[in-house]
Chains A and B, each alone.
Chain A
Amino acid sequence: MATSLSDYEKLMAGCIRCSNCKFIPALQVKSQKFSAICPAIERYNFHAYSGGGKMIIAQAMLKNRIQYTEELLKVIYRCTACGGCDIACKFFFELEPLEVILELRNHCVESGAGPMPQHKKYIESIKINHNPYGENHEERLSWLPKNTTFKEDSDTAYFVGCTTSYRRREIAQATAKIFDMVDLDFTILGPEEFCCGSPLLRIGDRRDALELMQKNVEKLKNHGIKRIVTSCAGCYSMFKVEYPRYLKTDFQVIHTSELLDNMLKNGKLELDKEVPLKVTYHDPCHLGRNSEPYTPWQGQMVKVVSRVYIPVPPKAIRRGTNGVYEPPRNVLRSIPGLQLIEMERIKEYAYCCGAGGGVKSAFPDFALWTASKRVEEAKSTGAEALVSCCPFCATNLKDAIREKGEKMKFYDLTELVLKSMGGST
């Protein structure tokens, strides 16, 4: 596993500055308006803001051609780390723009230049309050609806996450009510639930992130947890992808959309109340392309002909192929009266909501700008409502809808499922 920028040196040299990283995979381009994949280059225009641009910056840094400056920090952190560039690049190349972006951030933090001042505040808050929002840890459970039943000794934990606990309580409430109504055997960690580490890892504070992640693993193990269910795409990606990448873990990790899809398939969940609504679905980056686990590879690059090497045994390329794309769509299609209309940019080439990678805290105007672009795309489908499966996407997209005075509604998947079950938050 690569652990420093120099580990990527040969790989980065393969960047030809082709600009594919700025657009959705060319075969999927259906209009000029919705052909971009990278919010950063779309907003700030200089090539440095693209995935390829960051690969070049990382090379320049390794060659001591450049130093960290205030302007460079902006380039590095005005990026949602959504991985769109990564998917587009890997149609032809086997480069790793997203890994390089995150490694560059780690380099930036380790060298003392980064992260941004706003990030430093939330790092402190995570250390003190166990959440990045500066909220009192004692308030973490205040979302919990009265009379919710859960079993203390269940080996399935509903990991609520910081954003859902403090900012999008309606998602937690809908989720808990659904679980209650279907008699799901689950528990919550309550005061023992701390931040999953996502905000730290995405801004390059890997050292603090790993420390936190290790503690979380120990707590989950002490509770006898074998299965983690979460309604947060960010937490899901952490437990599904990053925890096994850096630590020894064997939890089964399930997103609520997968759980609901499975329950529908095996008859444990019935959706019978009409929800007459035209909706479009936004794939969260961390539930979609970035939820594909890393497959560790140990082997050799074997020469097959002059200058051409292949990995033996074959190496899995993380292209976003195996993201959670169908479960939320299956659930939506199962809701009577609901009509799902797709946007142009979906699944592995979905456009980011704009909130991730520390952008919402450090560059809120950029986050809002990106979300407005996504809302515009959602509107172009003729949908009345935008649906997603991530509290952070929800916050940013709702902010954009409010800011622009749009009539479009926003729902988390769980809210619509609860409606179709006859419940309400």
Chain B
Amino acid sequence: MLDREVYRALEKIVGSENITEEPAILDTYAYQWCTEVEKASRGEEPSRFGHRPEAVVLPCCTSEVQAIVKICNQYGIRFKAHSTGLGVWGAVSGPGTIQLDLRRMNKILEINEKNMYAVIEPYVTNAQLQSELIKRGLNHHMQGAGPQTSPLASHTSMVGPGFTSASTGFSGRNVLAVEWVLPTGEILRLGSLNCSEEWFSGDGPGPSLRGVMRGFMGAYGGLGVFTKCAIKLYPWPGPREWKVSGVIPNYEFEVPPYWKMFVLNFPDWDSFEEAYYRIGEAEVSMMAMASSQEGLATMFSNTREQTIEKILSDLMTKVQRYFIVLVAAHTEREFKYKTKLVNEIVKETGGEDLVEKGVVKPPSISYAEGVRNMLGSHAFRFTSCFQSTHGGMDTISMAINIAKVNVPIKRKYIEKELIGDDRGEGMWITFYEQGHFAHMEIPTIYDPADPESCKGYADYSMECNKADIEHSLGIPFFIVGDRMHDMFGPHCCNYQNWLRKIKEAFDPNCVSDPGHYISPKK
């Protein structure tokens, strides 16, 4: 419970309706996906209930956020802000911390069609933004966390791969100018916003602190609060009306005329790799992602039962190493060119298109779910829970290496029946930037209601981290907190020392919850 003086000061800022200390309400913020894994990895009993914030406040604008942060500095209270708040990274990590729920900051402030950027507040969701952009023939990069999550949160603070990454990159590459309430309560406007009130660039004219702001993987909300940001927009290669018909769960999407999905299958990793690189370089795909046979069944099914049926069918024997490509063109000419190129690459690399062969038929809904970033959430259908290990953020070749190294590690845990059985082959790869850069993660199913399964996943995750170091496989996707940075830092030029210096310089009172970022001093 907060000191009454602090409570009254916060209440004065947001109004009595927008602050609470009610334990039941606070518990809905203490509860987060993956807290059970963090607890298990610390040797605690797995539970989704983590630290209860001292209070939750709902600011409505930058000046309220700024005033709250100043109060926190004045009284030595820690704070943690989140947007939609999916995952333990959005929650407070220790006692004496208040939660800023940015739900009331939900405006699309500008869609600049000419300069192709949108300015958004923290609680604008991906689906909301995309629905407004499509009407204008535009689209944005959406992170894989889903259409109900915040693009601002990902663009400013997290890694942010997504299903259209082959054409839109990852979140860190898409953020332009930002408005940032620093941990001290000062407001910093980065990029063009600093000198022109324009949002078109994050790197100048004006200061570029992209590296400090989010570094390689993002500060996960441990370095102040981002209250507005501009993000890049892309041309939308479809009609300006989003047409989905039918009744749940059998929705049908009206697939635009120049869209085509391929499932390109290859006999081995070598031919897969060559084709994947070439598809990237050819710049023909809106989506280009690889997964396992189980992943294919999961993505192209509407229910768990349909998925299991597909997994148990002969699909498994007909699919080896594959990736899915979505060609989405604006004109017939562009469509013909791109599909021809895909077919040529497949032919020259010894692959086959499983859609053409009739082995796989992507349902129309999969096109819509792909571009709306919903396919990843299909993995929740098995046990209501999965999480990913590894990360890569390196090359396609490295992604394949990770997949290979991971198989025997994962199989050990599958044999003990601690995690879901995907034969150890489960993975998800997407490339960025013409295939020069790739993201790789290993999604893994576990049972959140079974402590043994949670502990099993936590152990598996740690073994993956050790393998990343031992085999030089890059930094994991979820690299958060002192423990992880101190584990990987010494193998990566002691970057953790720089992170700590940044934290110390920007947050001298250490009021911006460092739990999922880094503490100023070890």
Chain A interface (Cβ within 8 Å of chain B)? 9-10, 13-20, 22-23, 25-32, 35, 45-48, 52-53, 56-57, 59-61, 63, 65-67, 69, 71-72, 75, 87, 90-95, 304-308, 310, 314, 317, 319-321, 325, 347-349
Which of A16, A30, A91 is B33 in contact with, Cβ under 8 Å?
A16
Residue in A26, A59, A92 with the greatest tally of chain B CB atoms within 10 Å: A26
Give Cα A171 to B23, complex, Å: 45
A304:B308 contact, CB within 8 angstroms: yes
Residues 64-102 of B at the A interface (beta carbon under 8 Å): 84-86, 101
Chain A residues lying within 8 Å of B242, measured Cβ to Cβ, are 29-30
**With A14-B448, A18-B146, A45-B58: A53-B28 Cβ-Cβ less than 8 Å:** yes
Chain B residues lying within 8 Å of A57, measured Cβ to Cβ, are 24, 27-28
Binds A, one of B324-332, B341-349, B379-387: B379-387
CB-based closest 8 A-B pairs: A14-B384, A32-B128, A26-B147, A306-B421, A16-B33, A305-B421, A13-B449, A29-B127
Least CB separation from B108: chain A residue: A32
Chain B interface (Cβ within 8 Å of chain A)? 18, 20, 22-25, 27-29, 31-33, 48-49, 56, 58, 84-86, 101, 103-104, 108, 124-125, 127-132, 146-149, 242, 244, 247-251, 253, 303-305, 308, 311-312, 365, 368-369, 372, 374, 377-378, 380-385, 414, 417-421, 445-449, 453
Give Cα A205 to B420, complex, Å: 41
**With A14-B448, A307-B446: A92-B24 Cβ-Cβ less than 8 Å:** no
Give Cα A155 to B378, complex, Å: 48
B421:A17 contact, CB within 8 angstroms: no
Least CB separation from B130: chain A residue: A29
Chain B residues lying within 8 Å of A71, measured Cβ to Cβ, are 20, 22, 24-25
**With A14-B384, A16-B384, A319-B249: A23-B23 Cβ-Cβ less than 8 Å:** no
Least CB separation from B241: chain A residue: A30
- In the complex, besides A307-B421, A321-B250, 15 extra interface pairs with C-beta distance below 8 angstroms are A14-B449, A17-B33, A17-B86, A20-B148, A26-B372, A45-B103, A48-B22, A60-B49, A71-B24, A93-B384, A306-B414, A306-B418, A307-B419, A321-B248, A348-B248
A63:B49 contact, CB within 8 angstroms: yes
B308:A16 contact, CB within 8 angstroms: no
A27:B368 contact, CB within 8 angstroms: yes
Residue in A22, A91, A317, A349 with the greatest tally of chain B CB atoms within 10 Å: A91
Chain B residues lying within 8 Å of A320, measured Cβ to Cβ, are 247-248
The contact sample of 17 A-B pairs, CB cut-off 8 A, is A13-B384, A15-B31, A18-B33, A25-B248, A29-B242, A32-B129, A47-B29, A47-B101, A60-B49, A65-B27, A75-B22, A91-B249, A94-B304, A306-B420, A307-B418, A307-B445, A321-B248
Give Cα A69 to B26, complex, Å: 13
Per DSSP, are chain A's interface residues mostly helix, strand or loop, or mixed? loop
Task: For residue B418, give the distance in angstroms from its CB to the closest CB of chain A.
Answer: 8
Chain A residues lying within 8 Å of B244, measured Cβ to Cβ, are 27-28
B445:A308 contact, CB within 8 angstroms: yes
A95:B20 contact, CB within 8 angstroms: no
A308:B383 contact, CB within 8 angstroms: yes
A26:B146 contact, CB within 8 angstroms: yes
Give Cα A47 to B368, complex, Å: 28
Residue in B304, B378, B421 with the greatest tally of chain A CB atoms within 10 Å: B304
Give Cα A16 to B125, complex, Å: 17
Task: For residue A10, give the distance in angstroms from its CB to the closest CB of chain B.
Answer: 5
Give Cα A325 to B18, complex, Å: 38
Task: For residue A250, give the distance in angstroms from its CB to the closest CB of chain B.
Answer: 27
Least CB separation from A308: chain B residue: B382
B378:A307 contact, CB within 8 angstroms: no
Chain A residues lying within 8 Å of B414, measured Cβ to Cβ, are 306
Least CB separation from A311: chain B residue: B305
Give Cα A168 to B310, complex, Å: 52
Least CB separation from A46: chain B residue: B25
A35:B131 contact, CB within 8 angstroms: yes
A305:B24 contact, CB within 8 angstroms: no
B380:A91 contact, CB within 8 angstroms: no
Task: For residue B293, give the distance in angstroms from its CB to the closest CB of chain A.
Answer: 13
Task: For residue A106, give the distance in angstroms from its CB to the closest CB of chain B.
Answer: 17
Give Cα A28 to B104, complex, Å: 23
Least CB separation from A28: chain B residue: B244
**With A26-B127, A307-B382: A18-B148 Cβ-Cβ less than 8 Å:** yes
**With A307-B420, A325-B247: A60-B27 Cβ-Cβ less than 8 Å:** yes
Chain A residues lying within 8 Å of B85, measured Cβ to Cβ, are 17, 19, 47
A305:B420 contact, CB within 8 angstroms: yes
Which of B104, B247, B385, B453 is A14 in contact with, Cβ under 8 Å?
B385
